[in-house]
Chains A and B, each alone.
Chain A
Amino acid sequence: MLEWVAHRLPLRWTVGRTLLVVVLVVLVLAFLSIIKMNLVVNGLFLGSIIGLGAIGLSMIYGILKFANIAHGDYMTWGAYIAFFLLGTLLPHSTGFGPFTFGYTLFIALPLTMLALVATALILDRLIYRRLRRRGVSTVLLAMTSLGVAIALRGLVQVIWGAESEQYPRLSKLQYQLPMDVRIPPDWIFIAALTLILVLALYLFLTRSKMGKAMRATSDNLELARVSGINTERVVWWTWAIGAALAATAGVLLVVFQALLYPDMGWEILIPLFAAVILGGIGNPYGALAGALIIGVTAEVSTQWLTPAYKPAIAFGIMIVTLLLRPRGLFGVKD
Chain B
Amino acid sequence: MVRLLPFGLLLGAVLLLSWLFDFKGARITDVALMAGIYAVFSLGLNVHWGFTGLFNIGIAGFFALGAYTAALLTIRPPNPLYEDYTFGGDLASRIEVGDLWFVVALLAAGAVCAIVALIIGYITLRLRDDYLAIATLGIAESVRLVFLNERWLANGSRALYGIPRFLGDVVSSKNYDYLYLGVVIVILVILYIAVERVIKSPWGRVLKAIREDEVTTAASGKNVFSFKLQSFILGAVIMGIGGALFAFRVGTVAPVTFEPLLATFVIWAMLMVGGSGNNKGAVLGAFVVWGIWTGTQELPGFLSDPYFRYVMIGLLIVVVILLRPGGILGEERRVSGQIERAEGAAPPEP
Contacts and interface: CB of A to CB of B under 8 A. Distances in A.
Contacts of A146: 57, 265, 268, 317
A64 to B, nearest CB: 12
| Interface bin, chain A | 35 or more
B261 interface: yes
B311 A151 contact: yes
A147 B308 contact: no
B189 interface: no
Given A154-B307, A158-B311, A322-B135, A147 B141 contact: no
A152 B148 CA distance: 26
A138 B146 CA distance: 32
Contact of A151 (B57, B123, B260, B318): B318
B196 to A, nearest CB: 24
B138 interface: yes
A319 B58 CA distance: 15
Nearest to B307: A157
Contacts of A274: 138
Given A127-B318, A146-B317, A269-B137, A154 B310 contact: yes
A216 B90 CA distance: 62
A189 interface: no
Contacts of B142: 311-312, 315
B145 A144 contact: no
A92 to B, nearest CB: 28
A143 interface: yes
Nearest to A334: B128
Contacts of B268: 143, 146
Interface in B295-316: 302, 305, 307-316
Contacts of B134: 67, 270, 273, 277, 318
Nearest to B320: A147
Interface string A4-30: 000000000000000000000000000
Max chain A Cβ within 10 angstroms of own Cβ: one of B53, B265, B312: B265
A308 B149 contact: yes
Contact of A154 (B141, B308, B321): B308
A282 B131 CA distance: 14
Given A127-B318, A146-B268, A308-B149, A139 B310 contact: no
Contacts of A138: 129-130
Contact of A150 (B148, B305, B310): B310
A114 B137 CA distance: 30
Nearest to B55: A139
Interface string B54-83: 010100000000000000000000000000
Nearest to A281: B128
A144 to B, nearest CB: 5
A263 to B, nearest CB: 9
Nearest to A327: B127
A140 B134 CA distance: 14
Contacts of A323: 123
Max chain A Cβ within 10 angstroms of own Cβ: one of B130, B135, B316: B130
Contacts of A69: 57, 133, 137
B129 A139 contact: yes
A155 interface: yes
Contacts of A149: 314
Interface of B: 53, 55, 57, 123-124, 126-127, 129-131, 133-135, 137-139, 141-142, 145-146, 148-149, 260-261, 265, 268, 302, 305, 307-318, 321-322, 325
Given A151-B315, A308-B145, 5 more contacts: A158-B308, A311-B141, A315-B138, A323-B123, A326-B126
Cβ-closest 3 pairs across A and B: A151-B314, A154-B310, A150-B314
19 contacts: A137-B53, A138-B129, A139-B53, A139-B130, A139-B133, A143-B317, A146-B317, A150-B317, A151-B318, A154-B308, A154-B310, A154-B313, A154-B314, A157-B310, A158-B308, A277-B134, A309-B149, A322-B131, A326-B131
